[in-house]
């Protein structure tokens, strides 16, 4: 027996020695990734099918609503495509759908860059014109007719959650947005409201509705506000022609089974910008008026399901991330507290690190540069040098694949119509200290039509700001640990 005991440690050592190399080699990212062409195309066809859902979304919502324990709050999260599923066919084919998405995406990127420029040029609140509903209405209408997309079927917002507003709660769909802070809903009486799916929220029917006075902390935290009759008016412009103007109030919000009182929200009487039928917007940015800030959340996380899928995932507050998370510092911009920056240090393609100066991704003291994680941008934008380097390495690794013409903002495309699956070089983000996040192939080789044209889904930007978009985040739980200033990525965790 004593002998056995003495033997045990050495057996353990032997076991450990044999097990460790196996685990290591398993977890080493491979230099190529498999792209399932057939399944990507099947999903592309599916998103266009007009087959009605068997269960209405709101009913699914109720049955799926997770009753979370302790302080965590869990909301269902849906991609845009699943919300539009029961509407008359919006796009005739997948090619048009992709073109519309990419057009929206360019507008989104422009508006983020404009927001940052405004903050960096330190335009003070008093320099901005006061709220002028008439001017805004004209500006909004003009902005929407721009070169971008025609028709009212387009709109901002790519992912949505449902929550309750007021007492008793009215259940409504909201766009989620990591690129802004102010939460708002369309409110009766409407001076000008866009079409939404749920009935418009009427403050008269809510016992918890309460206007904020002008001298409150919340009112003073707004970028654009005005005082009328000592109550606070707010305005938010998104830089793409979308805006919302109305009363800044406090309301009770119901998230899953949790009620939160006195949340500062905008009650928008004049709203332009087609938020795809959503009742309003949830700001998940880093500013003091955002939902996570007002909830005093120590963390929040979301998982973006595939943009073409019918399934839902969750938006969670105060839920710890699992242990296999790849973490990196959450960096703040002293010029603008809204954006959530990640400390990206490099990118590799096919296992080889791109020869890029890491200053290319660094946020400088003037608030210039840096890399943000955004839920509303689709395609990751990199500074031109970084993009060119990535593209060249990817092209070198895919010489055997049949090339196709460029498509919209994509310059690297392939004709995979005769393939069931292909191997492509693995693209990984690096975060320093050996931390690496290899992306699944479908997060950077995406179909752009339904007959087999796939493109490398990265794009160059002339701005110093880089953006990690939702195509690259798909299927990954992205967690913002606000208490410890860290961002975490958990692959395959929707
Ligand atoms: C201001 O408040 C008074 C009374 O509180 C009300 O009669 C008046 O209509 C209000 N004015 C506006 C512009 O809302
Ligand atoms: C968040 O903290 C503030 C200040 O400590 C407090 O007034 C507010 O009620 C808290 N909100 C929630 C939802 O816990
Ligand atoms: C793609 O390749 C297939 C054969 O593999 C060919 O029939 C088809 O014309 C090609 N499509 C384009 C757009 O070149
Ligand atoms: C590709 O699909 C479109 C419809 O989306 C069709 O009009 C076109 O002819 C197809 N091209 C090829 C080369 O098959």
Residue 294: pLDDT band (50, 70, 90) is: very high
Residue in 389, 435, 397 with CA at minimum distance from that of residue 414: 397
Pocket test for ligand 4, best of 451, 453, 454 (most atoms within 8 A of CB): 451
User: Which residues contact ligand 1 via a Cβ below 6 A?
Assistant: 228-229
pLDDT band at 100 (very low <50, low <70, confident <90, very high): confident
Sole residue written with tokens 């210039």? 368
pTM score, whole prediction: 0.84
| pLDDT given for residue 104 in this prediction | 82
Q: What's the confidence (pLDDT) of residue 266?
A: 98
Peptide bond into 186 cis (omega under 30): no
**At residue 5, does pLDDT exceed 90?**
no
Residue 209's alpha-carbon distances to 164, 212, 262, 266, in angstroms, are 13, 10, 9, 11
**Ligand 3 pocket member 70 (CB < 6 A):** no
**Residue 470: how many other CB atoms lie within 10 Å:** 25
User: Is the pLDDT reported for residue 401 higher than 80?
Assistant: yes
Going by pLDDT thresholds of 50, 70 and 90, the confidence category of residue 45 is confident
Looking at residues 361-389, what average pLDDT do you find?
Answer: 95
Buried/exposed 399-429: b ≥16 CB within 10 Å, e otherwise: eebeebeebbbbbbbbebeeeeebbbbbbbb
Average pLDDT over residues 386-398: 98
Please report the atom of ligand 3 found closest to the CA of residue 452.
1
Ligand 4 centre to CA of 98 (Å) is: 14
Question: For 349-366, what is the mean pLDDT?
Answer: 93
pLDDT, tens digit, 9 for 90 and up, residues 402-456: 999 999 999 999 999 999 999 999 999 999 888 999 999 999 999 999 999 999 9
Query: Would the CB of 415 count as within 6 Å of ligand 3?
Result: yes
**Cα of 218 from ligand 2 centre, angstroms:** 12
Residue 465 near residue 112 (C-beta atoms within 8 A): yes
Residue 315 CA, ligand 2 centroid: distance in Å: 20
- C-beta of residue 290 within 8 angstroms of C-beta of residue 52: no
Q: What is the pLDDT of residue 60?
A: 42
Which pLDDT does position 15 carry in this prediction?
A: 35
Q: What is the pLDDT of residue 195?
A: 86
pLDDT in tens, 465-491: 999 999 999 999 999 999 999 999 998
Nearest ligand to the CA atom of 97: 4
Phi, psi torsion values for 13, nearest 5 degrees: -60, -45
Report the b/e string of 291-328 with b at 16+ CB within 10 A: bbbbbebbbbbbbbbbbbbbebbbbbbbbebeeebbbb
Q: Which ligand 1 atom is the nearest neighbour of the CA of 229?
A: 1
Q: How far apart are CA 179 and CA 238, in angstroms?
A: 10
Give nearest CA residue, ligand 1 atom 4. 229
Which domains, ranges and CATH numbers included, belong to the chain? Answer: 21-48+319-491 (2.40.70.10), 94-299 (2.40.70.10)
Report the atom number in ligand 2 closest to the C-alpha of 261: 13
Q: How far is the CA of 237 from the centre of ligand 1 (A)?
A: 26
In this predicted structure, the answer to whether residue 66 has a pLDDT above a threshold of 70 is no
Report pLDDT for 83. 64
Best substitution site from 70, 296, 298 to test ligand 2's pocket, by max atoms within 8 Å of Cβ?
296
At residue 281, does pLDDT exceed 50? yes
Indicate whether residue 347 lines ligand 2 (CB < 6 A). Answer: no
Average pLDDT over residues 300-322: 87
Task: Name which residue sits closest to atom 11 of ligand 1, judged by CA.
Answer: 229
Spatial distance between the Cα atoms of 194 and 276, rounded to a whole number of angstroms: 9
State in Å, rounded, how far the first CA of the chain is from the last one: 49
CB atoms within 10 A of CB 368: 16
For residue 93, which ligand has an atom nearest its CA?
Answer: 4
Instruction: Categorize the per-residue pLDDT at 305 as very low, low, confident or very high, splitting at 50, 70 and 90.
Output: confident
| Residue bearing the CA closest to ligand 2, atom 12 | 295
**Residue 384 predicted with pLDDT over 70:** yes
Span from the CA of 231 to the centroid of ligand 1 (angstroms): 10
Tell me, what's the pLDDT at 432?
Answer: 87
Mean pLDDT of 278-301: 95
> Residues near ligand 4 with C-beta < 6 Å?
93, 95, 449-451
Distance of CA 121 to the CA centre of its chain: 26
Strand 427-430 versus strand 73-79 pairing type: unpaired
- Atom of ligand 2 lying closest to residue 296 CA: 1
Asked if residue 244 lies in contact with residue 184, where contact means CB atoms within 8 angstroms, the answer is: yes
Average predicted confidence (pLDDT) for the chain: 82
Question: Ligand 1 centre from 188 Cα, in Å?
Answer: 17
The pLDDT of residue 326 is above 50: yes
**Ligand 2 centre from 260 Cα, in Å?**
10
For residue 25, pLDDT over 70 is answered with: no
Q: Which ligand is nearest to the CA of 292?
A: 2
Residue 22 has pLDDT above 80, yes or no: no
Q: Is the CB of 311 under 6 A from ligand 2?
A: no
Ligand 3 contact, 418 CB (< 6 A): yes
* Digit-coded pLDDT (tens) for 144-202: 222 222 222 334 567 889 899 999 999 998 989 999 999 999 999 999 998 888 899 99
Ligand nearest to the CA of 71: 2
What's the whole-number mean pLDDT along residues 356-364? 92
Residue 491 neighbours by CB distance under 10 Å:
15
Q: Return the higher-pLDDT residue of 428 and 10.
A: 428
Instruction: Judge residue 106's burial from the number of C-beta atoms within 10 Å of its C-beta, 0-12 exposed, 13-18 middle, 19 or more buried.
Output: buried
Q: In the chain, pLDDT over 90 holds for what percent of residues?
A: 60
Shortest-distance ligand to the CA of residue 96: 4
What's the confidence (pLDDT) of residue 297?
96
417 lines ligand 3 (CB under 6 A): yes
Percentage of the chain surpassing pLDDT 70?
79
Alpha-carbon distance of 288 to 294, in angstroms, equals: 7
Whether pLDDT at 52 is above 50: no
Q: Rounded mean pLDDT of 382-399? A: 97
Pocket perturbation via mutation, ligand 1, pick of 226, 229, 230, 247 by most ligand atoms within 8 A of CB: 229
Q: To 10 degrees, the CA torsion angle through 313, 45, 350, 471?
A: -40
Give backbone dihedrals phi and psi of 411, rounded to 5 degrees, phi first.
-110, 0
229 Cα: distance to centroid of ligand 1 (angstroms): 6
For the cut 80, the answer to whether the pLDDT of residue 141 exceeds it is: no
Q: How far apart are CA 56 and CA 440, in angstroms?
A: 31
Catalytic residues: 177, 374
User: How many whole angstroms separate alpha carbon 330 and alpha carbon 363?
Assistant: 12
């Amino acid at each position: 027996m004593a002998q056995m005991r003495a033997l045990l440690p050495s057996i353990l050592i032997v076991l450990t020695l044999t097990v460790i190399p196996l685990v290591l080699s398993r977890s080493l990212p491979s230099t190529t990734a498999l792209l399932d062409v057939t399944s990507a195309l099947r999903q592309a066809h599916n998103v266009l099918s007009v087959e009605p859902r068997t269960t209405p979304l709101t009913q699914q919502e109720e049955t799926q609503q997770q009753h979370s324990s302790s302080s965590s709050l869990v909301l269902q999260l849906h991609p845009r495509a699943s919300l539009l599923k029961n509407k008359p066919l919006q796009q005739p084919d997948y090619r048009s759908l992709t073109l519309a998405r990419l057009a929206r995406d360019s507008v989104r990127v422009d508006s983020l860059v404009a927001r940052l420029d405004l903050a960096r040029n330190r335009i003070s609140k008093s320099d901005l014109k006061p709220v002028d509903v008439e001017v805004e209405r004209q500006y909004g209408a003009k902005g929407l007719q721009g070169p971008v997309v025609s028709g009212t079927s387009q709109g901002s917002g790519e992912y949505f959650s449902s929550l309750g507003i007021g007492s008793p709660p009215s259940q409504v769909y909201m766009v989620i947005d990591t690129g802004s802070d102010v939460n708002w809903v369309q409110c009766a009486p409407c001076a000008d409201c866009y079409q939404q799916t749920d009935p418009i929220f009427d403050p008269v029917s809510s016992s918890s509705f309460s206007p904020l006075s002008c001298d409150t902390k919340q009112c003073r935290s707004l970028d654009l506000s005005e005082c009328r009759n000592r109550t606070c008016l707010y305005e938010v412009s998104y830089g793409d022609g979308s805006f919302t103007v109305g009363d800044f109030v406090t309301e009770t919000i119901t998230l899953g089974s949790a009620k939160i009182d006195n949340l500062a929200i905008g009650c928008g009487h004049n709203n332009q910008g087609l938020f795809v039928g959503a009742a309003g917007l949830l700001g998940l940015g880093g500013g003091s008026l955002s939902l996570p800030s007002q909830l005093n959340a120590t963390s929040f996380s979301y998982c973006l399901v595939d943009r073409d899928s019918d399934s839902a995932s969750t938006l969670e507050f105060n839920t710890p991330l699992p242990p296999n998370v790849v973490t990196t510092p959450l960096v703040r911009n002293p010029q603008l507290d809204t954006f959530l920056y990640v400390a990206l240090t490099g990118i590799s393609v096919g296992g080889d690190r791109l020869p890029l100066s890491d200053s290319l991704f660094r946020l400088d003291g003037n608030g210039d540069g840096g890399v943000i994680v955004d839920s509303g941008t689709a395609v990751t934008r990199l500074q031109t040098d970084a993009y060119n380097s990535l593209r060249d390495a990817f092209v070198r690794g895919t010489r055997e694949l049949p090339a196709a013409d460029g498509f919209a903002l994509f310059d690297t495309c392939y004709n995979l119509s005769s393939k069931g699956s292909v191997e492509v070089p693995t693209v990984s983000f690096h975060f320093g200290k050996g931390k690496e996040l290899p992306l699944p192939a479908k997060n950077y080789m995406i179909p752009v039509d339904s007959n087999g044209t796939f493109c490398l889904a990265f794009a160059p930007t002339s701005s110093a700001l880089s953006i990690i978009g939702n195509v690259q985040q798909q299927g990954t739980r992205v967690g913002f640990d606000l208490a410890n200033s860290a961002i975490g990525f958990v692959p395959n965790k929707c």
